[in-house]
Amino acid sequence: MKFLDEAKIYLESGHGGAGCVSFRREKFIDMGGPNGGDGGKGGDVIIEVVDTLNTLIDFRYTQHFRAEKGHHGMGKDRSGQAGKDIVVRIPAGTQILDEDKETILLDLTEPGQRLVFLKGGDGGFGNAHYKTATNQAPRKSTPGWPGQEMAVWLRLKLIADAGLVGLPNAGKSTFLAACTRARPKIADYPFTTLHPNLGVAHVADNEFIIADIPGLIEGASEGHGLGTRFLGHIERTAILLHLIDSTQDDIVGAYNTIRGELEAYGEGLDEKPELVALNKCDALGPELAADQAKTLEDAIGKKVYQISAISGQGVKDVLYPMWEEVKIMRVQRAEEAVAHRKLSLPSEPCDNGGNEDLAE
- What whole-number distance in Å separates Cα of residue 146 and Cα of residue 121? 5
Q: Is 316 labelled as part of a ligand binding site?
A: no
Q: Is 321 annotated as a binding residue?
A: no
Does 227 carry a binding-site annotation? no
355 assigned to a ligand binding site: no
Is residue 151 a known part of a binding site?
no
Q: Does the annotation flag 282 for ligand binding?
A: yes
- Whether residue 212 is annotated as binding a ligand: the answer is yes
- Show the 3-state SS of the chain: CCCCCEEEEEEECCCCCCCCCCECCECCECCCCECCCCCCCCCCEEEEEECCCCCCCHHHHCCEEECCCCCCCECCCECCCCCCCEEEEEECCEEEECCCCCCEEEEECCCCCEEEEECCCCCCCCHHHHCCCCCCCCCCCCCCCCCCEEEEEEEECCCCCEEEECCCCCCHHHHHHHHCCCCCCCCCCCCCCCCCEEEEEEECCEEEEEEECCCCCCCHHHCCCCCCCCHHHHCCCCEEEEEEECCCCCHHHHHHHHHHHHHHHCCCHHHCCEEEEEECHHHCCHHHHHHHHHHHHHHHCCCEEECECCCCECHHHHHHHHHHHHHHHHHHHHHHHHHHHHHHCCCCCCCCCCCHHHCC
Q: Say whether 239 counts as a known binding-site residue.
A: no
Residue type, 18: A
213 is in an annotated binding site: yes
- In sequence order, the β-bridge partners of residue 107 are 95
For residue 191, say whether it is annotated as part of any ligand binding site: yes
Tell me if 167 is assigned to a ligand binding site.
yes
Query: 310: annotated binding-site residue?
Result: yes
Is 193 annotated as belonging to a binding site?
yes
Residue 57 labelled as part of a binding site: no
Residue 214 assigned ligand-binding role: yes
The answer to whether 314 is annotated as binding is no
Instruction: State yes or no: 173 annotated in a binding site.
Output: yes
Which residues does 222 contact at the CB level (< 8 Å), separation at least 6?
none
Residues in Cβ contact with 191 at an 8 Å cutoff, skipping those fewer than 6 apart: 168, 214, 215, 225, 226
Alpha-carbon span 180 to 212, nearest angstrom: 11
The reply, when asked if residue 171 is annotated as ligand binding, is yes
**What residues are designated binding site?**
166-173, 191-195, 212-215, 279-282, 308-310
**What residues are designated binding site for GTP?**
166-173, 191-195, 212-215, 279-282, 308-310
**What residues are designated binding site for Mg(2+)?**
173, 193
